[in-house]
Structure 1
Amino acid sequence: MMLRYTLITTAATLSLSLVILGWMFWREDTKSEKQNKSGNLSNHENYAGVFGMARSPISPRSRAIQKRQPCRCHKIAALDECLPFLRTDSISESDAVEQNIILKSQYVLTGFSSAVHFSKFDIKPFSDLVNQHLLNKQSCEMSAAALTLSRVREQVNLQTSKSSEDELKRCEELILAYAKKLAEEKDCRSLQALMVETRPFYIAVGKAKASKLVRNLVDISLTIDQGKDEKIVLVQDCVEWAASNHSEFLRRSLQARLVRLYNDVREYTEAQKLAHPLGNELKKLEDRELLIEVSLEESKSAFYLNNFAKAKCALVLAKTNSNGAYISPQMQAAIDLQSGILYSADERDFKTSFSYFYEAFEGFIVTGDKAKAATTLKYMLLCKIMTNEASQIAALLASKEFATVKGKPIDALKALAEAFTTRSLKLFQKAFDDYKEELVEDKVVATHTYNLQKDMLEKEISRVIEPYSEVELSYIARLIGMTIPPVERALATMILDKKLHGCIDQHAGVVIIYPSRSSDKLFKHCLTIIKSVAKTVDASYHRAQLHIK
């Protein structure tokens, strides 16, 4: 009985072993057939590497678990990054069933996300997904030369509130591409017609996206070199349309853009008229981000109207709201720039202004705005000149932080610094003639022009009379290149301010310069000791008198 049981057990074991060996040989044959069919599994291996999937065989238990809960693959930023590997001919149906591939893709261009589960029934939807993405990419990369207003109008008319997100996104990309094409061609009328023709699309896309799209179209339109009246009419028309369609957020956003446009075209009075009521409305709504922008523009317009008190109040409001809300580095740099301008113009505190300008410069460098960074550096150099530190400008510009910023604003201040260092009025006037836009037309520099000319004239007079003890006024005027009356007034001011030790002999028409008073430290120290000894003797005398009495 025991022998029979042993034989049966041995036979069963051998049979099971043969079945297992046969199954293993069948698996190897199946794999070789796959390799022969595909020719090369490199694409499949690349596909597995992209999604972090292992190529090792999967146990039956693991396969059963994966069927209930599929493995999670890495989320990719764009499907087109791995399109060379995503081909149905490189992944067989059995591999898809075995691996239970889950593809989670997020489209950057279309904003569409989906998950596709591969089995023997859904290889086809995967290829459809790839083809759909390729079509979307081709439509987004459409050549701008092929776009026309009629084609854009046709696409806009096809969109309704029931359109998919993908279709709306493609239409939006089409509108922006055509707008950029018109901006490059400087076709203002076609751009205005485009903004009118696309208004039905704003209703289909929703108020939030419509506001962003309209703002982008307005910004693109304002980049074209055209008359200021045309720009103002364009934005005003958009504001009226937003108000008529009860799109209050878009209206306020466009009005804020209109305030900035008024400042750009130097219509500062109009900017003040619009900024004040808009700011009050934004305060009630507690829209801090837009309120900061409007307050900053109001401060700029008030500064250009020489209303420094109102400019400071508006700037304080912008700073207060910026402390309670997140603002972009670009906006923070603009606030620091305006703070430095007001400190230098109103309070003439050039050291504090230099600190604000330095913070603004760092902000513009971080955001990549090199034009405003150059303007800010120009104001920093102006502060150095106003504090009689023009000799430090060369070392400042040679530093690593400022060496990369170049342009005409920097060259203008370098010319001014050279004139102040050499005390040459001719170089000073030449700098103003050569860089008229950067020095004369700039309100910030023009605010200090009178003081700059006054300081430069004093330096020039000091350089001329330095070797003499007595010199004629006519000689000074001839060397400087000016008439006698302004030179005489400048000399009188220098004498009253104790910048020059001397007097003017109007009868003889000469300036008499007194020798500079040399300070003798030993004499002053001895005089202090004598005064202290005298006080001690007086005190001792008074005490002696009290004791005698």
Structure 2
Amino acid sequence: MSAPAVAQHHHRGSDPNNNNTAEYLNPLELQWERAEDLLADGKRAEARRVLEALVTTAVEADAVEELRVKERAVYRLAELLSVEKDVEALLQLPASVRPFFAQLPKAKTTRMVRKLFDHILTSGAPLERQMEVCHEMIAWARRERRTFLRQRLQHRLAELQFAQHAPQDALSTLQPLLREVRRLDDRALLLDIHLLESRIYFAVHNISKARAALVAARTNANSIYCPPLAQAEIDLQSGVLHAEEHDAKTAFSYLYEAFEGFHQLGDQARQARKALHYMILAKIATDTPDELSALLSSKNVLEYRGSDMDALRGVADAYNAQDTHLFNRIMQENRGAAFLEDDVLQRRLTEMYNSLLERHLLKLLEPYSRVQISYLAELLKLDVDAVESHVSQLILDKKLAGIVDQQHQCVVIFDEQDEKRAKARKEEAAAAGNKEAAGGGAASSSSAATPGMPAMEGEKESTTLYQDALTALEKYDRLVTALFDKANGKFDALVEENMAKRTAGRKDDKNSKKKNDSNTDEKGNEGKDKKNTNNNNRNNKDDNTSGSNNNNNKSSSSKDKDNKKNDS
């Protein structure tokens, strides 16, 4: 088909160099039409060469029609490279069209960069190479002082870091960007940042912050015109959070709105498929198989046929049949599938498997009153320790009335009627114990002293293991309560007696000390008196001796006088 013939079916403008109203096509439009015809004929290689030449063609800044043609050529070339999976050429495309960004309005530049990175993502390019290109574009935007574009590229970098399972790095990139965008009051970018922040917090299991970020995103969406894509992403994140909180019905309604929004956009098949996966799992969790079959056979869902949808159908069948073997077989057959790499999908499937395993266990335990754990493990094709752990969890969650007999490695299931009677008896015993404790507790101590007494008067003794165990526990409970009452009373008496003894001992010690002190004083006084008496006696003796000596002297002197007289 010749160029003039092609030109007859497309828009024509007036030639500025011709006064007549002759119709013509400028060179860029001719190249664009030629590329479209080549693509229609299936000649992708030739069409690619034409589009690459068209993209690198210099255009005047005031040539509106030529700028529009070149813009369409960039988008069409990105689509062609994405279909051909030419990752390297697609990664080099943003750098090759940088001069063209200077001629476009800022809003169109941002939209084009976003579209190019979307095509890079769908082409399966490695995340490391995507981050390299993103860093290069951010550096270029800083040099050119394209603040709005740089902020969008930083948001894209945070998305890539989150996709690379580095949530902390993504948060460290988002926090300064969030403060900067708040100062500029860019509500559209704030909406995208809060949505990404909510997804990151959900990935690190911080549900409260994830919900707060989603509320902030909704607030910004209500203050501006919210594009359909952003609204669908908000609905998707709302459904994910409601599913995490086990509100399957509300989650399904949000996810259905998200799926419809992505589906109607036409170019968001990847996001629509993701929303469809979440929506099917939410419908499975509502236990409505009829509605699920109607959903899977709807027109919009049938457009997304594939191995992933077949796997989810099998999961629904296994969940409705409460068959863990079928569930495990489906997971084994689809191991390594791309759709199972989604973190949200893995979390939902894990919760669904645990719920299915609980149902299967309860179904197996229903006809038994006593069953070996090894037998359950053989039926479930699981380890004995794993089965024992799940049974123990069921008992702790009060979903199963029974005990795990560690000695015999078996599960003992209680009868519901026996359990109700035992519970009523236990409540009555507790009430009676409280009354006895309020009245002094003496009667309960004497009545509970013998562990072999019957449980209650006029009540038939049960012959089941559960009934015997409960009866024994009640008896020992009463006995231990009575013993504690007695022990507490004796202990108080012993404490009082010990304190009295200590007080009396202290008084006796004081009295004995006083007596000892008084005895010591008396002994000291007696010693002093004795000393004084001895001294007095000694003095008296001395006096007597001196007196006798004087008398003797006197007598001797008198005798001398008499002798002298006689001599004379």
TM class, shorter-chain normalised?
A: 0.5 to 0.7
1:228 alignment partner AA: L
Asked if residue 241 in structure 1 is aligned to residue 140 in structure 2, the reply is yes
Deviation at 1:450, TM superposition (A): 4.8
Contact 2:32 2:54 in 1 (8 A): no
Say whether the 8 Å CA contact 2:55–2:74 is kept in structure 1: no
CA drift at 1:219 = 4.2
- Greater per-residue helix proportion: 2
Aligned residues: 404
**Which is further off, 205-214 or 374-383?**
205-214
2:206 matches 1:284: no
Q: Distance in 1 between matches of 2:222 and 2:273?
A: 27
Asked whether the equivalents of residues 503 and 513 of structure 1 are also in contact (C-alpha less than 8 Å), the reply is: yes
Describe the shift of the 1:455–1:125 C-alpha distance in structure 2 as closer, same or farther (beyond 3 A).
Answer: same
Instruction: Map Cα deviations across residues 8-62 of structure 1 (whole Å, 9 max, x no partner).
Output: xxxxxxxxxxxxxxxxxxxxxxxxxxxxxxxxxxxxxxxxxxxxxxxxxxxxxxx
Separation in 2 of the partners of 1:351 and 1:291? 29
1:422 to partner: Cα distance: 2.1
Q: What is aligned with 1:472?
A: 372
1:131 aligns with 2:24: yes
Give 1:492 shift.
Answer: 3.3
Shift of 1:468: 3.3
2:57 to 155, 162, 185: 155
Distance 1:327-1:415 versus aligned 2 partners, 3 A rule = same
- For residue 34 of structure 2, what is the amino acid of its counterpart? M
Listed one character per residue, the Cα deviations across residues 372-416 of structure 1 (whole Å, up to 9, x for unaligned) are: 333223223323444444575334434566555433443333222
**1:374 maps to which residue?**
273
- 2:254 corresponding residue in structure 1: 356
C-alpha distance in 2, partners of 1:178/1:376? 28
Which blocks of at least 5 consecutive residues in structure 1 are unaligned? 1-79, 85-106, 117-121, 519-549
Post-superposition offset of 1:186: 4.7
Write the distance in 1 (CA, Å) between the matches of 2:192 and 2:201.
14
Give the aligned partner of residue 33 of structure 1: none
Task: Tell me if 1:145 matches 2:46.
Answer: yes
SS in 2 for 1:468: coil
Cα distance in 2 for partners of 1:383, 1:269 equals 29
Question: Is the contact between residue 31 and residue 50 of structure 2 (CA under 8 Å) also seen in structure 1?
Answer: no
Q: CA 1:459–1:170 in 2, change beyond 3 Å: closer, same or farther?
A: closer
> Which one-letter code corresponds to 2:57 in the other structure?
Q
Give the secondary structure class of the aligned counterpart of 1:511: strand
Q: Distance in 2 between matches of 1:371 and 1:363?
A: 12
Show the 5 A alignment for 1:44-123: 83=8
Matched, 1:257 2:156: yes
- Alpha-carbon deviations, 1:446-467, whole Å to 9, x = none? 3345543332222222332333
Equivalent in the alignment of 1:481? 381
Q: Say which structure, 1 or 2, has more relative contact order (CA 8 Å, 6+ apart).
A: 1
1:241-297 Cα shifts (integer Å, max 9, x gaps)? 111111222222222333333334434333222222222222222211121112111
Q: How many Å separate the matches in 1 of 2:56 and 2:296?
A: 56
Query: Residue 425 of structure 1: CA displacement?
Result: 1.9
> Runs (4+) of structure 1 moved beyond 6 Å?
none
Letter in 2 for 1:138: L
Cα separation, 1, equivalents of 2:326 and 2:52: 59
Q: What is the TM-score with the length of structure 1 in the denominator?
A: 0.63
* Aligned mates of 2:99, 2:393 — CA distance in 1: 70
* Structure 2 counterparts to residues 177-326 of structure 1, below 5 A: 178-180=77-79, 182-183=81-82, 186-190=85-89, 195-205=94-104, 207=106, 209-326=108-225
CA contact (8 A) 1:390 1:420 kept: no
Structure 2, unmatched stretches of 5+, are 36-44, 419-568
Cα distance in 2 for partners of 1:256, 1:399 equals 36
Map Cα deviations across residues 468-518 of structure 1 (whole Å, 9 max, x no partner): 343333222222222333323333333444433444444444434445549
8 A Cα contact 1:259 1:274, kept in partner: yes
The change in CA–CA distance for 1:439 and 1:426 in structure 2 (over 3 A counts) is farther
Asked if 2 retains the 8 angstrom alpha-carbon contact of 1:259 and 1:294, the reply is: no
Distance 1:83 1:487, change over 3 A: closer
Q: Aligned equivalents of 1:340 and 1:170: distance in 2?
A: 40
Aligned-partner residue type, residue 305 of structure 1: V
Does structure 2 retain, via aligned residues, the 8 Å contact 1:357–1:377? yes
Identity of aligned residues (%): 33
Indicate which of 436, 447, 456 corresponds to 2:347.
447
Does structure 2 conserve the Cα–Cα contact (< 8 Å) formed by 1:374 and 1:410? Answer: no
Structure 2 counterpart of 1:431:
330
Q: Kindly state the Cα deviation for residue 193 of structure 1 after the two structures are TM-superposed.
A: 5.3
Q: Which residue of 1 aligns with 2:457?
A: none
Measured against aligned partners, the alpha-carbon deviations of 1:127-152 in whole angstroms (never above 9, x if no partner) come to 1xx1236x554222233627379956
Distance apart, 1:321 and its partner CA: 0.5
Do the aligned residues in 2 keep the contact of 1:292 with 1:322 (CA within 8 Å)? yes
Q: 1:492 aligns with which of 387, 392, 416?
A: 392
State the distance in 2 between where 1:217 and 1:201 align: 14
Asked if structure 2 preserves the Cα contact closer than 8 Å seen for 1:275 and 1:295, the reply is: no
The range that moved more, 298-307 or 336-345, is 298-307
Q: Which letter does structure 2 place at the counterpart of 1:131?
A: Y
Q: Quick one: distance in 1 between partners of 2:229 and 2:21? A: 43
**Is the contact between residue 423 and residue 460 of structure 1 (CA under 8 Å) also seen in structure 2?**
yes
Larger Rg computed on CA atoms: 2
Distance in 2 (alpha carbons) for counterparts of 1:450 and 1:188: 34
2:248 partner letter: F
Report if aligned partners of 2:242, 2:250 keep a CA contact under 8 Å in 1: yes
Work out the CA distance in 2 between the residues paired with 1:433 and 1:137: 53
**2: CA distance, partners of 1:153 / 1:319:** 39
412-421 vs 242-251, greater mean Cα deviation: 412-421
Matches within 5 A, 1:393-432: 393-398=292-297, 402=301, 404-432=303-331
Secondary structure of 2:371's aligned partner: strand
Q: Which amino acid aligns with 2:140?
A: W
After superposition, the Cα gap between the structure-2 partners of 1:160 and 1:427, relative to the gap in structure 1 and judged at 3 Å, is: same
